[in-house]
Structure 1
Amino acid sequence: MGLQSVGPDRACWSQTPGDEMGCDSLVDMQALEVLGSGYTKLVVKANLAGGPAVALKLVNEQGIDMGKCVEEFNEPEACRKLVAYKLKKEMVLLKRLQHPNVIGAREAESRGGAEGGRLAVILEQGTPLQMIQLLQSPWEDRFRVCLDLVRLLHFLSSSPLGSVALLDFQPRQFVMVSGTLKLTDLDDVSAEPTRCQTGEDCTLLFPQRNFTVPCVRGLCDGLNQKRNMYNAYRYFFTYLLPHQAPPTLTHLVDHIMNSTGELKSDINETLQAFEELLAQYQSGAHMDTLPASELSDYSLLWRTGVSGGEYRCWLSYSAQGCVLSVHNPREAAHICNSHSQCSSFSLTGQRTWSGRLLASFRSSSAQLVPDGTSDVYVKKTTVSITTAL
């Protein structure tokens, strides 16, 4: 599929301050694959000159909206401008709603040529949010998605446009960029307040239940914020947050689930609850119930690695072995003791987004090897583990 380069008469803005990739990178762009299409827009993965792969949003020349307009008016260029309205709107929204959890974007527009101008929105390249994959991920990563979402909703509750509602609140509206959740589709956002005469005009209707917010001075008070919060609860928190949460933190998780499921807390209180949960998790408070003596079951070998002996475990960071996040070696020893096949674990200093260590667990068939970046803890009762030191 060919893409037309943006001409020399062009204007760009950068979503990320200090980003050096400018309009020159749009020259000789190369489409790699179509990522999605709709009535109005086409999204393709493209390589830009001298830059990384990005997602490029364009007017869908073969889309339903364009086809209907040309069929009725037979004015292709006028129809293109009309259909481009949604793309222009999205450009404005992306520019106004700049936040770490909103997709990074640039706008490009050509104004010359016999066929008139062309519009494009250049987006960070992300991967679609896969709920099935998330359900099989460690609790820490699922919690991060929920935390990112709450931080985004906190921003949207008092954004430069006012309180913004995500009217089409679905996982498909989000992507993951280097582990961070980002809103990528702003077609169906609204900052319009809902006017009312009585509280009956301020009812939120959901499939399982309804909520009513107060009518204050002719406006439904907090309706957009409440809509976002409950959708976050029913589409994200319900599936991602409670499952396999650390036992000593379940009271905090339960509080979040109850307060958001009943809309008892506003977004400020909800964000505070999530930040408290993160602080407790990072502090290692969830380890209070672990036996302190378990680490004494292991001998520490400095600057030693392990080869072979991989086995698979649930919620591993590696599909080929058992790699889990731990607060410290004591938690790793507790995990190893709970795995019947585990005879050793190694720590390289590699950490997760929250600062936890990644530990690799091995069976007795593993072999010790020299490694200046790793330390190995070997179970003292293990006699069959071999060495190549």
Structure 2
Amino acid sequence: MTFSNTPFGLFIVLALVFLTLTVVLKKWHFGLREEEAFGDDAPERNRLLQQLQERYQELDKLYVTSSDEFISPHVSINDSIDYINGEIGADNTVTINETDIGCEELAGMKAVDFLGSGYTKTVLKVALPQGLFVALKSVNHQGTDMRMCMDDFKDSQRCLEFVSFKLRKEIALLQRLQHPNIVQLKGQCQDSALVGGITAVLEQGTPLQMIQLLQSPWEERFRVCLGLVRLLQYLSQSPLGSVALLDFQPRQFVMVSGELKLTDLDDASIKETACREDSDCGLQFPLRNFTLRCSPSRICKGLNEMRNLYNAYRYFFTYLLPHQAPSQLKPLIHHIMNSTRDLKQSINETLIAFEEVLHMYQSGLHLENLPPSITRDYTVLKGMRSVGNMEYRCWPSYKQQGCLLSVHSAKEAALICSSNPQCTSFSLSNDRTWTGRLLASFRSGFSHLVPDINSAVYMRKVKALGAVP
């Protein structure tokens, strides 16, 4: 009696035949779908599949195991969606951090405002049922990238997968790169019925407006530049290695409670350029070119860092840092400008220079030459607040219709008031800026005073009678 003639053997043979037919039918069905999408244009089909494979191989490198080592799950195109959702089997398990806001929390969301859209993504401001406002970033189904893919390949499913890669990459980077100057990922959802595909839930900020920033006080402009330098220092030695922001533009940033935050990371690169000689390590900008050394390991080490730093100089420092800087700090500011313009210092050295400026500014060391007697020209009324103020405008001011400036002490405020013929008095309260400096309100007169334990009024003695009718 042969094996196949036994009941058990017959069962095994039938099972193998069934499995074989199942695989053949699946391949036949998959081939029909591809023929429907591409017809006889096999090269176009293969080109799209190849591009998808390359993108998911790039995405693989951003996900790590609990031991913090890079993994290579070898995910096929057909399994790519399951891979991103963390549904690959035990041998290739991908650990993705749990997030607070998911599809369930987004079910009751309400769109509040349209924040913008680009070639790939759309951003909405939404209100969640619990009252939290967040930014919702999703694939732009009507965007340029989607239209171009459909024109080339005419496959809506794979084009959506292809276009959504940038958003998937951004989510992966936000999970790995966490810094006070990077926008916070608050959650994610992948539900085509609810949000039309994969969606990132981000803390809500306001788009960076350079014109508005140019009109703000120097202290706020310095804060933006300092935050940017701290960010670039982190990116130069991040958990993923040195990160280059290939699309370095002000539009890639938002403001959150006065802090600059990077919000678009889809064009970030974690690769250091390979080289054979120094000429391979070139940086080309519209007005300047630089060449770095090719390291013994055949890597343009530091190229990402220097690219980021020079872009920070030409897009931010040039416009925000020198103008209206305190005169005593200008030598330090000029040193920063010159060193970044010529890339003479590393990002670590640049951050040290920024921190020195901050220390000088916060501590008031740049004002140590002020005469102690400067406040003697003022009558101090502590525990009082002026009412019926006659205010004048100064620039740049924290208050659009008045003159509200940051000062280290009453001495600095007295110096400012004494140098302006319009100023007859100023007041100090407990309000402080992000550096801990006081906010002083300057005015040309007032009608009367009222008690306020948190305020003090300083009146110039030479004009005291004219200031208080």
Per the normalisation by structure 1, the TM-score is 0.90
2:202 maps to amino acid = L
2:467 alignment partner AA? I
Q: Contact 2:391/2:445 (CA < 8 Å) preserved in 1?
A: no
Match for 1:331: what amino acid? E
Mapped to 2, the partners of 1:14 and 1:56 lie a distance apart of 18
Contact 1:368-1:385 at 8 Å conserved across structures: no
Pick the structure with more helix per residue.
2
The match for 2:466 is 384
Question: SS in structure 1 opposite 2:423?
Answer: coil
Taking the TM superposition and a 5 Å limit, the aligned residue runs for 1:105-144 are: 105-110=185-190, 118-144=197-223
Look up the match of 1:193.
Answer: 272
Q: Is the 8 A contact 2:428 2:457 kept in 1?
A: yes
Output one character per residue of 1:215-273: Cα deviation in whole Å (capped at 9) or x when no partner.
01211121001111111111111111111222222221121111111111111111111
CA distance in 2, matches of 1:23, 1:281: 46
Structure 1 SS opposite 2:141: coil
| Bigger fraction of residues in strand | 1
Query: Which residue does 1:290 correspond to in 2?
Result: 370
Query: Pick from 456, 459, 462: which aligns with 1:375?
Result: 456
The answer to which of 71-80 and 135-144 deviates more is: 71-80
8 Å contact 2:425–2:457 — kept in the other structure? yes
Write out per-residue CA displacement over residues 73-116 of structure 1, whole angstroms, 9 at most, x where no aligned residue.
55434432232111111100111111100011133224586x99
Distance (whole Å) between structure 1 residues aligned to residue 339 and residue 390 of structure 2 = 45
How far the C-alpha of 1:118 sits from its partner, in A, is 2.5
CA deviations 1:263-322 (Å, max 9, x no partner) are: 111111111111111111111012123232120111111211112212111111001211
Shift of the alpha carbon at 1:146? 0.8
Aligned to 1:100: 180
Deviates more, 1:60-69 or 1:244-253: 60-69
Larger Rg: 2
> Which residue of the other structure, out of 268, 274, 292, is the alignment partner of 1:213?
292
| Preserved contact between residue 192 and residue 198 of structure 2 (Cα < 8 Å) | no
Q: Is the 8 A contact 2:191 2:198 kept in 1?
A: no
Structure 2: which amino acid aligns with 1:341? Q
1:158 is matched with: 237
TM-superposition CA deviations, 1:111-145 (whole Å, max 9, x none): 586x9973111111111112222222111111111
Matched position secondary structure for 1:374: strand
Pick aligned residue for 2:397 from 301, 316, 327: 316
Distance in 2 (CA, whole Å) between partners of 1:45 and 1:111 is: 18
- 1:206-245 equivalences under 5 Å are 206-216=285-295, 217-245=297-325
Residue matched to 1:357: 438
Name the stretch that deviates more: 243-252 or 60-69.
60-69
The match for 1:306 among 386, 410, 422 is 386
State the structure with bigger RCO (CA 8 A, min sep 6), 1 or 2.
Answer: 1
Task: Mark the CA change 1:14 to 1:354 in structure 2 (over 3 Å): closer, same or farther.
Answer: farther
Instruction: Give the distance between the partners of 1:75 and 1:200, measured in 2 at CA.
Output: 42
- Cα distance, 1:52 vs structure 2: 2.7
Matches within 5 A, 1:263-274: 263-274=343-354
Q: CA deviation at 1:324?
A: 0.2
- Which deviates more from structure 2 when the two are superposed, residues 47-56 or residues 308-317? 47-56
Quote the RMSD (CA, aligned, Å). 2.2
**SS of alignment partner, residue 383 of structure 1:** helix
TM-score normalized by structure 2? 0.75
Q: Does the CA contact (< 8 Å) of 1:248 and 1:285 recur in 2?
A: no
Aligned length: 373
Q: Partners in 2 of 1:278 and 1:116 — Cα distance? A: 44
Q: Partners in 2 of 1:75 and 1:60 — Cα distance?
A: 16
Structure 2 counterpart of 1:61: 141
**Residue in 2 that maps onto 1:328:** 409
The runs of 5 or more residues in structure 2 that have no matched partner are 1-84, 87-95
Equivalent residue letter for 1:323:
L
Instruction: Provide the rounded CA distance (Å) in 1 between the counterparts of 2:407 and 2:101.
Output: 38
Structure 1 residue ranges without an equivalent (≥5): 1-9
SS at match of 1:371: strand
User: Counterpart in 1 of 2:166?
Assistant: 86
Kept after mapping to 1: 8 A contact 2:190/2:197: yes
| Alignment correspondent of 1:204 | 283
Percent identical residues: 58
